[in-house]
Amino acid sequence: QKEVEQNSGPLSVPEGAIASLNCTYSDRVSQSFFWYRQYSGKSPELIMSIYSNGDKEDGRFTAQLNKASQYVSLLIRDSQPSDSATYLCAVRGYTNAGKSTFGDGTTLTVKP
């Protein structure tokens, strides 16, 4: 079983639609959860972090965390062509210096 597993892509949505990205993780002691956006050939860019159960909204992005189900998701509302990228889910343990473990990523294409 992979430590961090993301829904297989690629995912294609029309402009203006909601894109839904999912991630599950295996380590129950994980404390911190992140979504990064990575454009081709570029570095990961942090777009959302979430630490407690429930929803966290930031502009068009909403992250949802359910620790009991070991599940974290990202919703992108009003998707734009500029949102087309690979989205990486990352999970981190309880220590400040602890590593973040990344999923394989889900590639999103938003079609105009």
- Asked whether position 53 contacts other proteins by CB under 8 A, the answer is no
CB-side neighbour CA atoms (13 Å) of 25: 26
- Asked whether position 104 contacts other proteins by CB under 8 A, the answer is yes
| Stretch 24-43: interaction string toward other proteins, x if CB under 8 A | -------xx-x-------xx
Task: Report the Cα–Cα distance between both ends of the chain, in Å, rounded.
Answer: 37
Q: Give phi and psi for 2, each to the nearest 5.
A: -70, 150
Tell the smallest beta-carbon distance from residue 91 to other proteins (Å): 11
Contact between 31 and 51 under an 8 Å Cβ cutoff? The reply is yes
Tell the smallest beta-carbon distance from residue 101 to other proteins (Å): 7
The residues binding other proteins (CB under 8 A) are 31-32, 34, 42-46, 49, 51, 88, 90, 92, 95-105
